[in-house]
Chains A and B, each alone.
Chain A
Amino acid sequence: AQSVTQLDSQVPVFEEAPVELRCNYSSSVSVYLFWYVQYPNQGLQLLLKYLSGSTLVKGINGFEAEFNKSQTSFHLRKPSVHISDTAEYFCAVSETSGTYKYIFGTGTRLKVLA
């Protein structure tokens, strides 16, 4: 079975500052890794995904994440945030075969301050 831990429930950061949202996972099998963003009153939108290959993954809106197998982490980063990045961010893992169902972390609420 897989599990996902997002260590920070809330992260306040000033506009134009860098941010890192942490995600650690546990799994006995290979996994795919995802970051989704949820804006207020909206569904989930895929930011980026790691399937295989390069451990540094670039996504939309200037976000990137690095897969670290030894530390079982998949932290999300952005070098300079905007007010519009204020949202909830979810890390998810799925099996690499079978059902592909997602196991989500509890989410991190990013609040960008002016």
Chain B
Amino acid sequence: DSGVTQTPKHLITATGQRVTLRCSPRSGDLSVYWYQQSLDQGLQFLIQYYNGEERAKGNILERFSAQQFPDLHSELNLSSLELGDSALYFCASSLVGLAGEQFFGPGTRLTVL
């Protein structure tokens, strides 16, 4: 158990809908990362938040957004969903400054029908 929790574990929805994925980092970790794992794209970095502020952006679509709240949990919002958004979404956390090691949650499997 990495100490990172993600909810829900599975999500099935339809095209055009909007969903929110939630992540609680390990206690004390200030940085949260979101990654997407799909069969055709592999593991891709989406976005990073550090202590409530956006720190870095990767291959994140404009239909996707994220935020980190004062209690350090983070949410990834996916809107106008398309079939191609079906993937496993991972959250990771780290105590930035401690050699960058990231601890991954179990993931949320999103299926868009």
A interface residues, Cβ below 8 angstroms from B:
32, 34, 36, 42-46, 49, 51, 90, 94-96, 98-107
| Shortest distance from the beta carbon of A103 to any chain B beta carbon, whole Å | 7
The docked-state distance in angstroms from the alpha carbon of A48 to that of B100 is 13
Residues of the B chain whose Cβ atoms lie less than 8 Å from the Cβ of A44 = 90, 92, 104
- With A43-B105, A51-B99 already in contact, 19 other A-B pairs whose C-beta atoms are closer than 8 Å: A32-B100, A43-B2, A43-B4, A43-B104, A43-B107, A44-B90, A44-B104, A49-B101, A100-B31, A100-B94, A100-B100, A100-B102, A101-B48, A102-B43, A104-B35, A104-B44, A106-B42, A107-B42, A107-B43
The docked-state distance in angstroms from the alpha carbon of A45 to that of B103 is 8
Main secondary structure of the interface of B (DSSP, over half): strand
The docked-state distance in angstroms from the alpha carbon of A34 to that of B58 is 19
**Given A43-B90, A107-B42, A102 contacting B102 (CB threshold 8 A):** yes
Nearest to A34 among chain B residues (CB) is B101
Residues of the A chain whose Cβ atoms lie less than 8 Å from the Cβ of B99 = 32, 49, 51
B interface residues, Cβ below 8 angstroms from A:
2, 4, 31, 33, 35, 42-45, 48, 55-56, 58, 90, 92, 94, 96, 99-107
Cβ-neighbour of A101 out of B4, B45, B104 (below 8 A): B45
9 closest Cβ pairs, A-B complex: A100-B100, A99-B56, A104-B43, A44-B104, A43-B104, A43-B106, A106-B42, A94-B100, A51-B99
Residues of the A chain whose Cβ atoms lie less than 8 Å from the Cβ of B56 = 98-99, 101
